[in-house]
């Protein structure tokens, strides 16, 4: 029983429904290196034309692309301490 409680305590933060990091801070720390114009295929913050077709795929697909890597996007977007909710918040922030 103790092992199950310990495992639940360790895994619970991974399934949290709330972002734990400020999206702008995450962007400035890791995302901006590619998404501020250095890589032409990486959509820039606020670029509605670039974000619209991506958002049409659904947030879960976008989070999966960030988590697993997709095309030039490295796995986890190089943010090793980001949760799925952090990714959702950053994507939402970048696409506004």
Domains observed in the chain = 23-95 (1.10.760.10)
Look at residue 42 in the predicted model and tell me its pLDDT: 96
Average pLDDT over residues 9-20: 58
Nearest to 16 by CA among 66, 83, 64, 94: 83
Q: What is the pLDDT of residues 43-76, one digit of tens each?
A: 999 999 999 999 999 999 999 999 999 999 999 9
Mean pLDDT of the chain: 87
The predicted model scores a pTM of 0.79
Percentage, residues of the chain above pLDDT 90: 78
CA distance 36 to 16: 29
């Amino acid at each position: 029983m103790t092992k199950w409680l310990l495992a639940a305590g360790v895994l619970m933060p991974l399934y949290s429904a709330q972002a734990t990091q400020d999206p702008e801070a995450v962007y400035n720390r890791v995302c901006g290196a590619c998404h501020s114009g250095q890589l032409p295929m990486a959509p820039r913050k606020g670029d509605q034309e670039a974000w619209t077709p991506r958002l049409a795929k659904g947030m879960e697909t976008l989070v999966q692309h960030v988590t697993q890597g997709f095309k030039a996007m490295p796995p986890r977007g190089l943010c090793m301490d980001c949760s799925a909710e952090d990714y959702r918040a950053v994507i939402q922030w970048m696409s506004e």
